[in-house]
Each structure stands twice: as structure tokens, then as C-alpha cells.
Amino acid sequence: SQTIHQWPATLVQPVGSPLSLECTVEGTSNPNLYWYRQAAGRGLQLLFYSVGIGQISSEVPQNLSASRPQDRQFILSSKKLLLSDSGFYLCAWSVPRYEQYFGPGTRLTVT
């Protein structure tokens, strides 16, 4: 069966520090991968999606970047965090045109 992992579960980082969030998927090949951000009590904002290794589409211009170094690995990064980067970061995978499966998420607080 398929499993999606995200870590860490919670993270507190100072403004200006770097960020690296990792997401890995097990039990499937060549999935579509997604990064979303959810502000407290708000909807899900699509940040990046990827349909294959090295293929990243950015939806929102910001100080975040994403990479897909392996088929089932998706990384979200920042060189310098801003206060506005705080939120709940969710990784998801799907077979194209089918449902998305979300990881448990990372709660990021930038102080």
C-alpha cells in the first residue's frame, strides 16, 4: 500500500533562517507531487507541483523553492524565512487525474 511521509511534524525557526522540508512517498511510481500551504483557519494554497523528476511548476512567486531529486522525494526549501512563511505545510501525491493523498503536514512557526 502507498504511504506518504513528512517531517518534521512541527518546526520553530527564526526569521532569516533557512528551511528544508522533506516529503517521501512509498508504494507507487512516478506520482504527481504537490506542496500546499495552509494559514490558520484558511484554505489550501498550491505552492508547487511536479509531474516528474526535476519537473517543478511554481504557482506562487515567493522566497520558497521546491526540488524533486528522486521519483518519490519532494523537498521544499527557503534560503531566508519570513514571518509570513508561517503555516501548515502539506505534501500530497496522486496518480494523474485521481485523488490526492496528503501527508500529516508540518506546522512551521517563524519567530
Partner 1 sequence: GQQVMQIPQYQHVQEGEDFTTYCNSSTTLSNIQWYKQRPGGHPVFLIQLVKSGEVKKQKRLTFQFGEAKKNSSLHITATQTTDVGTYFCAGDSGTYKYIFGTGTRLKVLA
**Site residues (vs partner 1, CB under 8 A):** 32, 34, 36, 41-46, 49, 51, 57, 59, 90, 96-105
Grid coordinates given for 16? 532569516
**Of residues 19 and 91, the one with the C-beta less far from partner 1:** 91
Q: Which of 58, 64, 73 is nearest to 24 (CA)?
A: 73
Q: With beta carbons less than 8 A apart as the criterion, state whether 44 and 35 touch.
A: no
CB of 72 to partner 1, least distance (A): 17
Specify burial of residue 5 (Cβ count, 10 A radius: 0-12, 13-18, 19+).
middle
CB of 96 to partner 1, least distance (A): 6
CB of 84 to partner 1, least distance (A): 19
CB of 32 to partner 1, least distance (A): 6
Per the listing, cell 521546491 goes with 66
**Of residues 77 and 101, the one with the C-beta less far from partner 1:** 101
* Residues belonging to the chain: 111
**Of residues 49 and 85, the one with the C-beta less far from partner 1:** 49
